[in-house]
Structure 1
Amino acid sequence: MTEGVYHTKSSLWIGSGATRRRSISKRYWFASEGAGGCIEVQLLTNNLTPIGDKRVIDRDEFEDEYVFEPGLLALEVQATNIAQDSSVRQLLDAQDELVATVSALGEKQSALQHEEREASERFDKGMSMLRGGYVKQGRKILLAVSEKNVKWKRRHKHLFNGFGTRLRKQREPEIALKHYLKAIELSPNDDHLCYNVARVYYDLRKMADCKRWLNRALVANPKLEPAQRFLQAITRKSYLR
């Protein structure tokens, strides 16, 4: 693992009855490798100053729950006794209160706008993890974006089409396919989306699926020239074999 700043998220319930809702609390930690392969983490304040004692966690918990923040740098470690220092608990309470305040203000915004913004932020985070060499964590985040149960609208096909294209360029065809198929769910007869799915299947060397989606694109739009040329090329290549 890389020593540095990481974040975790936890659920926080706000309100009661019909107005009760869940918000997400985000906290930052400084993580470093300890003895015996364990990871040591220490809570950070909002200005990224370490506070309280270090806590030892195992590697599996760390990989599942802690997300690297490559753009953040913690200040010099200043350990205090977390059992005696009430400022740590005050810090946690203040963070939760801030989340509650932000959530109350956010009620004025569309829930779908929030989901769209969160999807984009999570996707960018996953891509940063991939580029930084944190492949397992990055892929997990990117897959979660496509699999989250949200009642997306037809217009959001552009969001997932864009995600798929970026992943295909990143040479992650399996995850790209997940995002393209999410876009297809929102717009089943979109010829360009069908064409993009065919291209991913070609990258995966699944020619039968590639042809099937090219034909589907041409059913939606018989004049789609890129699909015509692509289908002719792979058909000719198969014939020459």
Structure 2
Amino acid sequence: MTEGVYHTSSNLWIGSGATRRKSISKRYWYASPRADGDFEVQLLTSNLTPVGDKRIVERDEFEQEYVFEPNLLALESHRLDAGSGQHDSQQQDDQTAALLARIPTHKASKTGLRLEEEEAIEKFDQGMTMLRSGYSKQGRRILQGVPEKEVTWQPKHKHLFNDFGRKLRKQQEPEIALKHYLKASELSPNDDHLCYNIARVYYDLRKMADCKRWLHRALLENPQLEPAQKFLQAIKNR
């Protein structure tokens, strides 16, 4: 196996029931073999510029998970000094434009909401990668922008933003998770489970009045929702 650009893939399920389908998200890496047989990999941005820290991947894992991209070249990551910053920045922009023109795309046949959906997934995946790689500020900015984009989403897309919110809450990013959950609630305002999820995020944020309000809203939609009943009772007993 040779040095160069590789990709890994992950699956994201969208929708539920008969409309449930799988979407594949890719991450790109620059990899180089080590003397001990393992590989050193570094994450690449959407412009194929190295970002974050390098890490070591054992050979067996690398051979199973990483797929070589012989037609892609990573851009060099370099610092810009005050004197040559503008020139180097323009040069890198030109390099990026030339490189992107060579990258094969699978989005040409997708239009409308399908394209917006794929782009939302790609942006979310990029933001989470930045967050986990230590680029918290950049990652949070990307993740906050996903639900803010002006798109005429349909009710079925509530599953998309509900899934994003769940992953962000698990990542201990309650404020950003809330933005995604609220977007999902806009698309399906009578969803009792969404109301319950929003209440839990408000609890994480220590906003008890809002937490209770959304629990009551969940129980208004479904008086038999047991998790909401127990949660509300636990709060009252404190």
| TM-score (normalised: structure 1) | 0.62
Shift of residue 110 of structure 1?
3.0
CA shift in 2, pair 1:211/1:147, >3 Å? same
Q: Deviations over 1:8-63 (max 9, x none)?
A: xxxxxxxxxxxxxxxxxx6444689xxxxxxxxxxxx9422659xx77267xx9xx
Partner SS for 1:139? helix
**Equivalent runs, 1:1-241 vs 2, <5 Å:** 7=45, 27-29=47-49, 46-48=72-74, 50=76, 56=80, 94-95=98-99, 97-98=101-102, 106=108, 108-237=109-238
Shift of residue 224 of structure 1?
0.5
CA shift in 2, pair 1:48/1:158, >3 Å? same
Shift of residue 168 of structure 1?
0.6
Whole-angstrom CA distance in 2 between matches of 1:114 and 1:224: 35
Whole-angstrom CA distance in 1 between matches of 2:193 and 2:161: 13
Whole-angstrom CA distance in 1 between matches of 2:237 and 2:98: 66
Whole-angstrom CA distance in 1 between matches of 2:161 and 2:219: 21
Shift of residue 102 of structure 1?
5.2
Whole-angstrom CA distance in 2 between matches of 1:31 and 1:222: 49
5+ residue gaps, structure 2: 1-41, 53-70
CA shift in 2, pair 1:30/1:193, >3 Å? closer
In the other structure, the counterpart of 2:27 is none
Q: What amino acid is the match of 1:48?
A: A
Q: What amino acid is the match of 2:153?
A: W
Whole-angstrom CA distance in 2 between matches of 1:122 and 1:147: 12
CA shift in 2, pair 1:205/1:215, >3 Å? same
Q: Deviations over 1:120-163 (max 9, x none)?
A: 11111111111111110110010011111111110000000000
5+ residue gaps, structure 1: 8-25, 33-44, 67-81, 83-87
Q: What amino acid is the match of 1:111?
A: G
Q: What amino acid is the match of 2:80?
A: V
- Give % identity: 56
**What is the aligned length?**
172
Contact 2:219–2:228 (Cα < 8 Å) also in 1:
yes
Whole-angstrom CA distance in 1 between matches of 2:129 and 2:96: 28
Give every structure 1 segment of 4 or more consecutive aligned residues whose post-TM-superposition deviation is greater than 6 Å.
none
Q: What amino acid is the match of 1:144?
A: G
Whole-angstrom CA distance in 1 between matches of 2:129 and 2:75: 24
Choose 192-201 or 113-122, whichever is displaced more. 113-122
Q: Deviations over 1:185-206 (max 9, x none)?
A: 1001100000000000000111
> What is the RMSD computed on CA atoms of the aligned residues?
3.2
